[in-house]
Structure 1
Amino acid sequence: MEKSKIGRRFEGKVAIVTASTQGIGFAIAQRIGLEGGSVVISSRRQRNVDEALKKLKAQGIEVLGLVCHVSNAQQRKNLIDQTVQKYGKIDVIVSNAAANPSIDAILKTQEAALDKLWEINVKTSILLLKDASPHLREGSSIVFISSISAFQPPAGLAMYGVTKTALLGLTKALANEMAPHTRVNCVAPGFVPTHFAEYITSNEAMRKSLEEQTLLKRLGTTEDMAAATAFLASDDASYITGETIVVAGGMPSRL
C-alpha cells in the first residue's frame, strides 16, 4: 500500500512483533511503524535483525531490534525488558513466530518434532504474554497469527495446522481472561509466498491449485496480512475481542 494512503492509528503506541525481520512479521511491523507506532522487531539471527532495522529506519520508522528465539526464556524476558526500558510501556503484541519442522502425517511425526511444534507455535505465545502482561496498558491489544490450515489441516501441514487451531481457542480463552483492559484477537492468513511457505508456493502446479481454491484467484500478500493485523491491533477494532479474521481470498474456513 502507498504510504500516502496509510493513516496514523498507532501514533504514540508501542508494538512488539515476534519473528518480524522477514515475511508477514516484517510487513506487520512495517505497517504499524508507518502508522506512527514505535515497533520492536525480533529474530533468532542478529544478521536478520540488522537488515530489517536498516530497511525500517530508512522509511523513518522508530524501531528497536533484538535477537529473540521465542523458546529461549531469557531472550523473551530481554525482549520485554528492553522494550519497557526504552519506551516505558507496551500497547500491542503481535505473536507471529511459528515453526513447521515436519511434513509427516501426524501419527508418523517424531516426538521431538511434536514438542517443537507445540512449543514454538502455542506454548511460547503464552509464556511471552506472561512476561508482558504486567506492562500492558489499558486499551492494549494482542493479535495471534494463526493460519487457514487451522480450519482444515492439509496433508503435509497437518500437525502444524492443529497447533494453529489451538491458537483459535487460545484467542477465545485469553480474550475472556484479559478483559476488559486488553483485547485479544487472531488473524488466519491464507497462503502467502514467503520464505516460510516457499516449499509450497514455489511449486508452480501447487501454486496454481491454491490460487484456484480462492474466490479471488490469487495468493495473499504480506501487505494483506499486515492490513488486517493492524486493524485488529488498532482502536478501529476497539469493540472486537476474541475473534479470528480469515484473510485467505475466500478459501473455506469453518471448524
Structure 2
Amino acid sequence: MSHFRCRDEICCPFAERKQRVEGRVHSRGGMLSSFRILRPAVQSWPRMHSTAAQGVLADKVALVTASTDGIGLAIARRLAQDGAKVMLSSRKQENVDKTVAQLRAENLNVKGTVCHVGKEKDREGLVVKAVEEYGGIDILVSNAAVNPFFGNILDSTEEVWDKILDVNVKATFLLVKKVVPHMEKRGGGSIIIVSSLAAYLPFPMWQNKNIENQLLAILGSHRIGEAQDCAGIVSFLCSPDAAYINGETVVVAGGSKSRL
C-alpha cells in the first residue's frame, strides 16, 4: 500500500484545479494507495470517536471496484462492518446480485452495479449510481486489475501491455478523476488503490510442484495470506485514526523479505 499527501496547488497528479490537496496512497497481496482532496480550510475527517454501534466509518459512502470476490469482497465487507455504506461492482450482474444478497444477509448496508472499469460508460455509471443511491462518495477503493499474461516477459505482446496499462493504470486514474469532485463537495475523502506485491518482490519462475512450499519460504509469517488480511488496513487508512499518515507505502505480504 502506498500513501501520499500534498498541500500545495496542483501538487497531486490527480488534481486538475488549483486547490489545497491532501493525498494518501496505499498498494495487492499486496500494496495500497490513497489520497485526500480538501477544499481550503476544510478538514477531511473530523476528529471524533464513534460508538461501536456506529463504526469508525459511520455515514461514509464507499465505492469498491471488483468487489464480489477475493480481496475486493473482503474489503467491501469490512468497510460495511465498520459503518460505511458500500457500492459494490463487478463485470457480471449475477456476481453483483449474489454478493449484494450475501452481505445484506449479514445486515450490511450495500448496493451494487455492473462495472467494467476499462469502459468509460461503466465508470460513469458506477459513480452516478453511488451518488444517486447514497448521496455522495467519501471513499474509493480501486481494486480492479488484469493480468492477461503469465510467462517470460520477453514473450509478452504489445496487446498484453496495452490491456494492462489501459485497465490497471489509465482506468484507475480516470475513475479517480470522476470521484474527486464528489469528495470535494463532502469536504474530502480517501482513495485506496490496490496493487501487486510484484512491484516490490521479484517472483522466480516457480514449478507447479511444491509451489506452496516455495512461496512459504519467502514469507516471514510462514503462512499463505487470505483476502481478509488486506481488509483491516484499508478500513484503518480510511478512518480518522489514519488522518496523519501520508506519503507511505504499506505492504501486506506476510513479512516477505525481498524488496526491489
Q: Which TM-score band applies after superposition, normalised by the shorter structure?
A: 0.7 to 0.9
Deviations 1:35-83 (A, max 9, x none): 1110000000001101111111001111110000000101100100111
Question: Residues 80 and 104 from structure 1, CA distance in 2 versus in 1: closer, same or farther, beyond 3 angstroms?
Answer: same
1:59 aligns with 2:64: no
1:151 aligns with 2:200: yes
Q: Which residue of 1 aligns with 2:242?
A: 237
CA distance in 2, matches of 1:37, 1:70: 22
Identify which of 16, 21, 34 aligns with 2:63: 16
TM-score, length basis structure 2: 0.75
User: Unaligned stretches of 5+ in structure 2?
Assistant: 1-51
Q: Which residue of 1 aligns with 2:160?
A: 113
CA distance in 2, matches of 1:205, 1:230: 34
% identical aligned pairs: 44
Q: Secondary structure at the match of 2:175?
A: helix
- How big is the shift at 1:253? 5.0
Say if 2:220 and 2:257, in contact at 8 Å, map to a contact too. Answer: no
Q: Secondary structure at the match of 2:83?
A: coil
Q: Which residue of 1 aligns with 2:144?
A: 97
Say if 1:101 and 1:113, in contact at 8 Å, map to a contact too. Answer: yes
Deviates more, 1:205-214 or 1:50-59: 205-214
1:70 aligns with 2:117: yes
Q: Secondary structure at the match of 2:97?
A: helix
Superposed CA RMSD:
1.8
CA distance in 1, matches of 2:215, 2:229: 17
Deviations 1:149-207 (A, max 9, x none): 11134256xxxxxxxxxxxxxxxxxxxxxxxxxxxxxxxxxxxxxxxxxxx9xx56111
Say if 1:14 and 1:92, in contact at 8 Å, map to a contact too. Answer: yes
Q: Which residue of 2 aligns with 1:163?
A: none
Deviates more, 1:142-151 or 1:15-24: 142-151
Q: Secondary structure at the match of 2:221?
A: coil
CA distance in 2, matches of 1:11, 1:144: 21
Deviates more, 1:234-243 or 1:31-40: 234-243
CA distance in 1, matches of 2:124, 2:247: 26
Say if 1:212 and 1:218, in contact at 8 Å, map to a contact too. Answer: no
Bigger relative contact order, structure 1 or 2 (CA pairs below 8 A, ≥6 apart): 2
Q: Secondary structure at the match of 1:143?
A: strand
Identify which of 212, 216, 222 aligns with 1:217: 222
Larger radius of gyration: 2
Say if 1:148 and 1:253, in contact at 8 Å, map to a contact too. Answer: no
Structure 1 runs of 4+ off > 6 angstroms? none
CA distance in 1, matches of 2:54, 2:123: 31
CA distance in 2, matches of 1:133, 1:139: 8
